[in-house]
Amino acid sequence: MLWYVAYGSNLHRDRFLCYLEGGRPAGGARTYTGCRDPRPPMADRPVLLPGGVYFARRSQVWGGGMAFYDPALDGEAPARAYLLTSGQFCDVLAQEMRRDIGVDIDLTPALATGRLTLGPGHYDTILNTGDLGGQPMLTFTSPLGAAEADLNPPSAAYLAVLSSGLRESHGWTPERISTYLMSRPGALGTVRP
């Protein structure tokens, strides 16, 4: 068992369930195959990660920039930890990397060193962000940090999913959500860190 830590659109539970069960998220442009094991997470918890989130590249699902986690940024990143099997985590990762599900990645390097880079793609880097209740907390992000990334503002549809996820997982007010999201590198009007 491990915690998959989501900091982007997967903060929203129904959107995340498309990765487990299969389906198309409301407002999204892609249908997901789902995991070999489509059971829902055994638990989920709001968490804060050291570092921050930035927007870069271009999403084929939402248009506009995508959220990426950079532990080198100042501050804390609100996130949501889902308790999954390692097989579910690998299948979610495969779908994010646009690969076929069914390959169990050896997560030992990420657990031992804190990082495992599988390629240059959008979410090809696995990070170990600590542990929760004795289980490791893993997330995935770009191999580039915010300072090296091609920053790009997110779309309104993506911001709506992020907002809903922050409200659902952390109980934040609309004002706090807006202030947080608009302060992220890559958001419209922000500058490179």
pLDDT at residue 164 is higher than 50:
yes
Q: How far apart are the C-alpha atoms of 61 and 159, rounded to whole Å? A: 13
The position carrying tokens 């809903």 is 164
pLDDT band at 30 (very low <50, low <70, confident <90, very high): confident
More confident position, 47 or 100: 47
110 sits in the region (left: phi over 0; alpha: psi -120 to 50; else beta) called alpha
Neighbours of 168 (CB within 10 A): 15
pLDDT in tens, 64-75: 999 999 999 999
Find all residues with CB under 8 Å of 19, minimum gap 6, and list them: 10, 32, 34, 35, 91, 92, 95, 96
Question: Structural domains in the chain?
Answer: 2-182 (3.10.490.10)
At 189, is the pLDDT very low, low, confident or very high (cuts 50, 70, 90)? low
Per-residue tokens: 65: 């920039």
Give the pLDDT of residue 97: 85
Instruction: Determine the pLDDT at residue 61.
Output: 83
For residue 192, pLDDT over 80 is answered with: no
Whole-structure pTM value = 0.93
Handedness of CA 146, 56, 140, 160 (dihedral sign): positive
pLDDT at residue 191 in the model: 47
Question: Would you tell me the crossing angle of helices 156-170 and 174-182 to the nearest 10 degrees?
Answer: 130
Beta bridge partners of 116: 126
